[in-house]
Amino acid sequence: MYLTDKSRTPPGFEGGRILLLIFLASLFGAATLELLNEPDKADASILGAFFTLLILWRLFLLLRNHYFRRRAVRYDSWFRIHPAPSCDLKTLSEGIPSRNPGKELTRLLQRGYLTGITLDQDGTVHVGSQQPAVQAEGKPGPRQVAVRCPACGARCTAVPGKVNHCEYCGTPFTSPAPGQERKA
């Protein structure tokens, strides 16, 4: 609801890229160390070191973006479960553990991971007009509950009685309707 396209990635896409970059960095690193022992191949060792650093930098950027996406999904889930039009940072930090939720939320908004949320100077978080608890006709919208994904175990939000998708791995699952319990 408050996530931008930048916050969404295909399931399993990021893990494969991370493993590939780790493999390439170790490969170039090992080749560079081997070339350092041979004095006549100094140019190749410098080039190998450059490529190793380049791959490690890309790996750092990928991991940082992965962290921001995960945090954006957490904030999005919290705002969907708690559909108040505004809240203070203390209430937000109780629901989402963070050293500095104001700074983190500002970063996520500035970098384009979240939308429809504003932060005042006094520390009040205002959620946009697209509230999940009220539909356009003024009738209450679908109630959302926090559940665990059956595939990856991540906490995500779901509408009871409907087919939902995990916000982390994309696995479809059905949350039981109110009053119904899952059979063991």
Condensed to tens digits (0 to 9), the pLDDT of residues 65-100 reads 888 888 888 888 888 888 788 888 888 888 888 888
Least confident of 11-25, 79-93, 122-136, 139-153: 122-136
Residue 175's CB is within 10 A of a number of other CB atoms, namely 20
* Position 131 pLDDT exceeds 60: no
Distance CA 35, CA 95 (A): 52
In this structure, are 151 and 117 located in the same domain? no
pLDDT above 70 coverage of the chain, percent: 77
Taking the mean position of all CA atoms in its chain, how far away is CA 114? 10
Query: Helix (H, G, I), strand (E, B), or coil: what is residue 21?
Result: helix
Hey, what amino acid is at 5?
Answer: D
Taking the mean position of all CA atoms in its chain, how far away is CA 146? 17
Tell me phi and psi for residue 36, to 5 degrees.
Answer: -65, -25
In this structure, are 62 and 153 located in the same domain? no
pLDDT top residue among 129 and 120: 120
What's the pTM? 0.55
- Within-domain flag for 133: no
In this structure, are 14 and 43 located in the same domain? yes
The parent domain of residue 113 ranges over 6-127
Average pLDDT value for the chain: 75
Query: Helix (H, G, I), strand (E, B), or coil: what is residue 135?
Result: coil
In this structure, are 162 and 87 located in the same domain? no
* Position 135 pLDDT exceeds 70: no
DSSP codes joined into one string, 50-84? HHHHHHHHHHHHHHHHHHHHHHHHHHHHHHHHS--
In this structure, are 118 and 176 located in the same domain? no
178 pLDDT band, cuts 50/70/90, is low
- Within-domain flag for 96: yes
In this structure, are 179 and 111 located in the same domain? no
In this structure, are 122 and 158 located in the same domain? no
Tell the residue number behind the tokens 């963070």, with chain if given: 98
pLDDT above 90 coverage of the chain, percent: 0
- Within-domain flag for 16: yes
Which domain-ending residue is among 82, 99, 127?
Answer: 127
In this structure, are 65 and 121 located in the same domain? yes
Number of structural domains (the chain) is: 2
- Within-domain flag for 28: yes
Distance CA 148, CA 32 (A): 45
- Within-domain flag for 137: no
- Within-domain flag for 175: yes
* Position 173 pLDDT exceeds 80: yes
pLDDT score, position 12: 56
pLDDT score, position 8: 66
Tell me phi and psi for residue 128, to 5 degrees.
Answer: -60, 175
- Within-domain flag for 1: no
The alpha carbon torsion through 170, 82, 130, 68 (nearest 10 deg) reads -50
Most confident of 12-21, 25-34, 86-95, 174-183: 86-95
pLDDT score, position 105: 87
- Within-domain flag for 43: yes
In this structure, are 77 and 156 located in the same domain? no
Q: Do 66 and 96 meet the contact criterion of CB atoms below 8 Å apart?
A: no
In this structure, are 12 and 101 located in the same domain? yes
Which domain-ending residue is among 127, 152, 175?
Answer: 127
Tell me phi and psi for residue 149, to 5 degrees.
Answer: -70, 130
Which domain-ending residue is among 82, 101, 127?
Answer: 127
Q: Do 113 and 6 meet the contact criterion of CB atoms below 8 Å apart?
A: yes
